[in-house]
Structure 1
Amino acid sequence: MAVLLWLAGMYLRIPVLVAPPLAPFIGEELALSQALTGALTTLPILMLAIGSMPGSLAIARIGPRNTLALAMVVMVIGSAGRGLVPDTLTLMLASSVMGLGVAMMQPALPALLPRWLEPHHLALGTAIYMNGMLMGEFIGAGITLPVLMPLLDNSWRATLLAWSLPALLVAAALYLPRRDLEKPAGPGAWLPDWRNPLTLRIGLLLGLSGSMFFGLNAYMGNLLEQQGQFDKLADALFWYNIAQVFASLIMLKMARSWVGRRSVIIVTASLSIAGTLGAITLTGWWSIASATLMSLTAGVLLILLVALPPLVARKGETGRLSAGTFLVGYTLAFSVPMLGGLIADATGDARHAILTIIAYSALVLPLAFTLDLKRKKDQLES
């Protein structure tokens, strides 16, 4: 089961993050504008927010395992379909379908954990699939161009197919484990429970983690160019992205000790803000080191927050709570950096994009002090 969780987690990110290295080749063949080339990455991120509700509905109707398998098939149809498209319109449609599938996978994985794992293993289960997800970020972005594409005659279409189709095997393998510790109680509520304060609070804090990571990643080139060190971009992005892998490895070791502890969430969120601030106030390698620190702590924070719904939700509520937090979190992870970019365009200063993200993060940081992370009674008894 650990292997299946890891592989499913890997496919939360590989389909999204193979787009940036392949974007120049896709853009050249299909004559994409810069905005449409960027949309190959940003559109799926937006779909991560929009698609969380269909995922929650599916969990309530057909259960988390069936939802996860269905979502992976939808993801494969969209992701592989990108390699078969004849024009820009179908490319964007396929990217949207792929993003929808990934978005439905997100709440299905935490909802599946109580079915497969004992309560005291929930934190470790989250760390395992999140390790797969963050490894997927590095694998998709790191080996597509130097390793996989040359093996496939430098075809971006064949590369997309090669990354996508193996997920069908993972979807089928999800039915191998017969263990089901929590029997389904029938269709229930699936819309986010906005009366539950954790829905909004965890979602806003997810927005803190996501907007800082995606935002600084997006504006790293502009920031380094403004600082006169654009030649360090490749090294900066390498360390920035591999820091997320180290974050997931740390959490594999520390999940049982750290997950569910409000103090750890406060510390990692504060360090993430400090690292982002250092990235725009320091220069040279100190700036890059500060950005890398932010990526590391934001990765740990992400896992800490994603692990909360299966830990604190009542029976049958995990998917609903997860979907609500992902809806809020990824909407902000898309919109806050976008707002920062608009402000930076207006002022001509790339630092203003990052300052916008820091301002949002500082505003929501106090929410971390108000999190009620007590395990629900019926969760402990399951």
Structure 2
Amino acid sequence: MAAIRPRFGVLLLLWLTGLYLRVPVLVIPPLSPFIGDELSLDSTTLGALTTLPVLMLAIGAVPGALAIARLGARGALMMALVLVAIGSALRGVAESDLSLLGVSALMGLGIAVMQPALPALLPRWLSYEQVALGSAVYMNGMLMGEFISAGLTLPVVMPLVEGSWRAALWVWSLPALLLVFALKWPRDHEPDQPVRRPGWMPDWRHPLVWQMGLILGSSSTLFFGLNAHMASLLKARGVLDALDQVLFWFNFMQVLASFLMLKAAHYWVGKRLPILLCVMLDCLLVLGFWWGSGAWAVVCVVALSFCSAILLVLMVSLVPSMVPADEVGRMSAGCFTIGYVVSFVMPLLGGILADTSGDAEDILWVLSGYALLTIPLAWRLRLHSSAHPAG
């Protein structure tokens, strides 16, 4: 039993930290009517409060690799959580749109550093055999964070703070500072000292960085793109009244997939076949949603969310299971940079195409086209492990 407790504690800490990859971002949609009314913000600015941190995930990933090289993975994660807590809490004292967007960008930068720091810590805190489980655990925390923040803010947190959106942001933000202190507790399997030599910049010439980043981008593009444009797509089909139910199941399936991966990660992570199957299923399902109608289209898009979440966990878990611990940060940063640039640009292009043509369904040309392009990338993916079991 004594050997189990430290491992359980580390997994719990990873799960709680994973929550803060999404909670500070997705607490905004339920609060946006209150923020907009008080600060007189238009819909574009309110939308930017959610999309700006996503853009920062791409911009801040490489600086995150530098932070890992200089501070170590643990130090970089602690610094990032401080940025997230302070940036998110400062939104509660903002008095203008510019100040609100500024501190939201600061918060997004913190989350961007967290993204490569978490996988870089896995081989230091867990044995080699437990790395895939650790990835699945913090990804489960991240996906649960989407539901917790969106589901509890209005019915639970707002009544507790007497309807103050500012206080609600503080309630969600400040507990991150407690995690900063908790992160000092786990022992490393191997030293996590800052790296003083060059080596923090991702190797952009390495084909595997591009393959993994572009495949990761497919998962994120389909999820963020369909989430962003679901209202337009359902309105074009005359079933806008089903939006709440479709979005609920579309997002909830990500949570279910993350629970499946808690069990399956050990068997699937590091293997090409599960990745290839997920990519191919994503393509079939987005085409099924596009060409289908009624209940069949809903089944396809909900199943697509489930499959894309599995692909997300598989891709995020690849790097810490494949490369030495001191290389995880910069390789993860390269993959996240590519993946999040793609997931920001592709839905944007789809929206522009739809606005130009006047047909909301044209969004799916971009989303399905990009998904199809990733099939040969997954087919040609060559995975090998150069990581060594931690002592």
TM-score, with structure 2 as normaliser: 0.95
**Out of 53, 63, 67, which is 1:54 matched to?**
63
**Out of 155, 164, 177, which is 2:186 matched to?**
177
Q: How many angstroms apart in 2 are the aligned matches of 1:381 and 1:38?
A: 44
| Contact 2:127 2:389 survives alignment (8 Å) | no
Alpha-carbon distance, 1:285 to partner = 2.4
Q: How many angstroms apart in 2 are the aligned matches of 1:190 and 1:45?
A: 22
Pairwise CA RMSD: 1.3
- In structure 2, do the counterparts of structure 1 residues 103 and 183 end up closer, same or farther at CA, with 3 Å as the change threshold? closer
Question: Is 1:241 the counterpart of 2:259 in the alignment?
Answer: no
Partner in structure 2 of residue 85 of structure 1? 94
Q: Cα deviation per residue 1:325-358 (whole Å; 9 max; x = unaligned)?
A: 0000001111100000000000111111122111
Q: SS in structure 2 opposite 1:195?
A: coil
Q: Cα deviation per residue 1:17-63 (whole Å; 9 max; x = unaligned)?
A: 11111112211211112211110111010000001111100100110
Question: Is 1:29 the counterpart of 2:38 in the alignment?
Answer: yes
Look up the equivalent residue of 1:10 and give its one-letter code: L
| Contact 1:185 1:316 survives alignment (8 Å) | no
Size of the aligned set, in residue pairs, is 381
**Out of 370, 386, 391, which is 1:360 matched to?**
370
Partner in structure 1 of residue 209 of structure 2? 199
Q: SS in structure 2 opposite 1:307?
A: helix
Identity score, percent: 51
Look up the equivalent residue of 2:62 and give its one-letter code: M
Q: How many angstroms apart in 1 are the aligned matches of 2:155 and 2:284?
A: 34
Alpha-carbon distance, 1:197 to partner = 1.5
- In structure 2, do the counterparts of structure 1 residues 25 and 381 end up closer, same or farther at CA, with 3 Å as the change threshold? closer
Look up the equivalent residue of 1:175 and give its one-letter code: K
Q: SS in structure 1 opposite 2:93?
A: coil
Q: SS in structure 2 opposite 1:187?
A: coil
Instruction: Report 1:149-168 matches (<5 A).
Output: 149-168=158-177
Question: Is 1:337 the counterpart of 2:356 in the alignment?
Answer: no
Alpha-carbon distance, 1:256 to partner = 0.4
| Contact 1:260 1:373 survives alignment (8 Å) | yes
Question: Is 1:222 the counterpart of 2:254 in the alignment?
Answer: no
Instruction: Report 1:1-382 matches (<5 A).
Output: 1-184=10-193, 186-188=195-197, 189-376=199-386, 379-380=388-389
Q: How many angstroms apart in 1 are the aligned matches of 2:107 and 2:195?
A: 28
Q: SS in structure 1 opposite 2:388?
A: helix
Q: How many angstroms apart in 2 are the aligned matches of 1:187 and 1:305?
A: 29
Q: SS in structure 2 opposite 1:317?
A: helix
Look up the equivalent residue of 1:168 and give its one-letter code: L
Partner in structure 1 of residue 5 of structure 2? none
Alpha-carbon distance, 1:146 to partner = 2.1
Q: How many angstroms apart in 2 are the aligned matches of 1:11 and 1:220?
A: 25
Deviation larger for 101-110 or 351-360: 351-360
Structure 2: 5+ residue runs without aligned partners? 1-9
Q: Cα deviation per residue 1:190-231 (whole Å; 9 max; x = unaligned)?
A: 111012211111110111000100000011111111111111
Look up the equivalent residue of 1:216 and give its one-letter code: L
| Contact 2:347 2:367 survives alignment (8 Å) | yes
| Contact 2:132 2:317 survives alignment (8 Å) | yes
Q: How many angstroms apart in 1 are the aligned matches of 2:19 and 2:325?
A: 26
Q: SS in structure 2 opposite 1:86?
A: coil
| Contact 2:282 2:371 survives alignment (8 Å) | no
Q: SS in structure 2 opposite 1:379?
A: coil
Alpha-carbon distance, 1:317 to partner = 0.6
Deviation larger for 15-24 or 230-239: 15-24
Q: How many angstroms apart in 2 are the aligned matches of 1:272 and 1:138?
A: 22
Q: How many angstroms apart in 1 are the aligned matches of 2:325 and 2:140?
A: 25
Look up the equivalent residue of 1:162 and give its one-letter code: V
Deviation larger for 273-282 or 324-333: 273-282
Q: How many angstroms apart in 2 are the aligned matches of 1:109 and 1:99?
A: 16
Q: How many angstroms apart in 1 are the aligned matches of 2:29 and 2:287?
A: 26
Q: How many angstroms apart in 2 are the aligned matches of 1:13 and 1:234?
A: 20
Alpha-carbon distance, 1:129 to partner = 0.4
Q: How many angstroms apart in 1 are the aligned matches of 2:71 and 2:301?
A: 42
Alpha-carbon distance, 1:365 to partner = 2.0
| Contact 2:190 2:390 survives alignment (8 Å) | no
Q: How many angstroms apart in 2 are the aligned matches of 1:127 and 1:344?
A: 36
Q: How many angstroms apart in 1 are the aligned matches of 2:384 and 2:191?
A: 20
| Contact 1:215 1:354 survives alignment (8 Å) | no
Q: How many angstroms apart in 1 are the aligned matches of 2:34 and 2:289?
A: 31
